[in-house]
């Protein structure tokens, strides 16, 4: 039965890993939800054991990061992130949480989170390897396949580089310069 739950949990975890300050992190609010505890209880447990969480394991979000994240995630005031900025936990910080939150659920969730971080690293390595191979092919076949290489590079672009905050469809521009 746990095997059927694992892919769902893994997909959910992967969607909650963010890139902040050049590091892959998870937010305290999402971690609390996964562990089945209140966000303030998680933060209190961490603060009681603060020596286990140096700055490269956990850091508070700045006001700017928090505002940007709230707008990107379209979070309501009920549920999710509230007024207080959450903490960001790096992979090492998440691993350390298992020693602070001592429950069977915390152990199981931590195992799945570690698997998600490993998968994330593998995907990034694969992406980098594809980029290297593309560059080598591009040197070999230069201009005659430039359009193909440009299309592949566009497909490899991470979703984060796309425009944020636009929901729905954009109207197509018609000939003559006016939309209709």
Lowest-pLDDT choice from 76-85, 89-98, 120-129, 136-145: 76-85
| Residue 45 to residue 47: CA distance in whole angstroms | 6
Residue 151: inside a domain:
yes
Residue 88 sits at the vertex; the CA angle it makes with 120 and 126, to the nearest 5 degrees, is 15
Residue 115, burial from CB neighbour count under 10 angstroms (0-12, 13-18, 19+): middle
Tokens of 115: 């698997």
- When computed from its CA atoms, the radius of gyration of the chain, rounded to whole angstroms, is 21
Does residue 101 share a domain with residue 155? no
CATH number, domain containing residue 32: 3.10.260
Q: 41 and 116: one domain?
A: yes
Residue 126 has pLDDT above 50, yes or no: yes
Same domain, 44 and 113: yes
**SS3 of 75, please?**
coil
12 Cβ neighbours under 8 A, 6+ residues apart:
34
pLDDT digits (tens, 9 = 90+) for 4-63: 445 556 667 878 888 888 888 989 999 998 888 888 889 999 999 999 999 999 999 988
Looking at the fold, whether 7 and 61 belong to one and the same domain comes out as yes
Shared domain for 62 and 83, answered yes or no, is: yes
In terms of residue numbers, what domain contains 136? 126-161
Angle at 50 between CA 14 and CA 64, to 5 degrees: 55
Report the C-alpha gap between 133 and 104 in whole angstroms: 44
Please give the model's pTM, rounded to 2 decimal places: 0.58
Into how many domains does the chain fold?
Answer: 2
């Amino acid at each position: 039965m746990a095997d059927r739950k694992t892919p769902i949990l893994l997909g959910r975890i992967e969607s909650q890993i963010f890139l902040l300050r050049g590091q892959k992190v998870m937010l305290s609010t999402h971690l609390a939800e996964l562990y089945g505890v209140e966000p303030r209880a998680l933060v209190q447990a961490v603060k009681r054991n603060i020596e286990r969480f140096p700055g490269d394991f956990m850091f508070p979000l700045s006001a700017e990061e928090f505002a940007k994240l709230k707008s990107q995630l379209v979070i309501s005031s009920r549920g999710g992130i509230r007024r207080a900025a959450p903490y960001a936990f790096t992979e090492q910080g998440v691993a350390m949480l298992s020693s602070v939150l001592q429950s069977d659920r915390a152990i199981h969730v931590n195992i799945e989170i570690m698997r998600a971080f490993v998968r994330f690293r593998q995907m990034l390595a694969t992406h980098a390897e594809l980029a290297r191979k593309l560059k080598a092919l591009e040197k070999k076949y230069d201009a005659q396949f430039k359009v193909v290489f440009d299309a592949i590079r566009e497909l490899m672009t991470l979703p984060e580089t796309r425009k944020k905050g636009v929901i729905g469809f954009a109207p197509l521009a018609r000939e003559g310069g006016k939309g209709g």
